[in-house]
Amino acid sequence: MLKVLSCSSMPRSYFLQPKACLALQKDVIHMHAVTGRCTKVARNINMERLRNNYLFPEISARELEHIKKYPNAEVISLGIGDTTEPIPDLIASAMSDYARSLSTPEGYKGYGDEQGNKALRKAIAQTFYKDLAVKDTEVFVSDGSQCDISRVQMLLGSDMTIAVQDPSFPAYIDSSVIIGQAGDFQYNSGKYRNIEYMKCGPQNHFFPDLSNTLRTDIIFFCSPNNPTGHAASREQLEQLVEFAKENGSIIVYDSAYAAYITDESPRSIYEIPGAREVAIEVSSFSKSAGFTGVRLGWTVVPDELLYSNGFPVGHDFNRIICTCFNGASNIAQAGGLACLSPEGVSAMFSVVDYYKENAQILLDTFASLGLKTHGGVNAPYVWVHFPGKRSWDVFNEILGKTNIITVPGSGFGPGGEEFIRVTAFGHRETILEASTRLKSLFP
């Protein structure tokens, strides 16, 4: 009997070969053309620019192929970055109590404020941005940071130019393609024509050479980074903020993994002087509170952030929220409030520490194999280097020899070639079993 032992966020996109991509697109078009009557509505050209070779289905297909070949294998997934440990009882009970209260006349509530529960907005400002001058009215509660990334793209519009880290979480790129910012995909380079890819690898301490970076309207920046696990230093973020100020750009700063920072690296872009004039920050309860299925996050838009005509960006984001979003679930927000109580914060960080211990086990494992690793200290991801090897070849070798699923680095962009991403999300016994198997890879 096959068992799949799941350890963990697989990004939802990327990267086959051009011929396979085109063949898949033709097959899909042919299948629907012969099975249904076509409308007279043309397909959105931006959707056509999205690559059809998504990473998640490709990995799933290779996993299924492996299972057919080895039906008795116990497959371990170190690929998907999904949390595995139970939500602390204190937090789950708060959501349960709120849900039960909805069955009573006294406890029932319908629509809440689109911007979020006022008490939760205040708690987020006080807990995560203490002494950083972030006001509760600048905090917009949402159903997760990835959803907010798309809302920010809607806010800014299709005429904006963007820059992303390379490698990068695919949502930044895919949302820019959908909204019409990215231009055509260039198969020879693995990049979209109109996106500025900022190389971030070991050779430059995972921070772009800003002296050679073209000016763009928007700069997407994630720290701690998914997939590399690198947390930008204070000096690096000071350079980024100064670069944005000089160029009149807006930084969209993703701090979803800030709870994993163990050193002096900033947990928020607003720790950097001047950032309130140039930065939006998106964040989430998903990876700190185990809310990947509950869905709760937030975005901060400071009052000082202005368009070129002096109009406040926050006013427009508020309109986007009110028009396109009816607010996060009241039940989820009750859980968020429990997370930010003193007992809730302690419980959250206890689970975060558990995952960080998993990461250390994986770091030690790869070190024993003589492999160079990055991340795993300030983030739940370990970025493993296989010099001279294609990441899909490494993926296939590890799967074939150990029955372990990883994520090929090329799925995060051209800068991810020669790397794989391994997640520390998982039950301890599964992580230990994966460690044992990996050590047998190069005896």
Paired with 185 in beta bridges are 192
What is the C-alpha to C-alpha distance for residues 429 and 438, in angstroms, rounded to an integer? 14
pLDDT digit string (tens) for 117-169?
Answer: 999 999 999 999 999 999 999 999 999 999 999 999 999 999 999 999 999 99
Contact predicate 73/67, CB 8 Å: yes
41 DSSP 8-state letter = P
Contact predicate 194/182, CB 8 Å: yes
pTM of the model: 0.91
Q: Can you list the domains of the chain with their CATH numbers?
A: 1-82 (no CATH), 90-342 (3.40.640.10)
- Give the other-Cβ count within 10 Å of 57's Cβ: 14
Cβ-Cβ contacts under 8 Å for 430 (sequence gap 6 or more)? 5, 6, 7, 76
Mean pLDDT over 301-307 rounds to 98
What mean pLDDT, rounded, does the chain reach? 92
Closest CA to 335 of 299, 300, 288, 301: 288
Q: pLDDT category, 26, cuts 50, 70, 90? A: low
- Segment of 27-31, 42-46, 57-61, 269-273 carrying the highest mean pLDDT: 269-273
Residue 366 pLDDT more than 80?
Answer: yes
What is the C-alpha to C-alpha distance for residues 91 and 75, in angstroms, rounded to an integer? 32
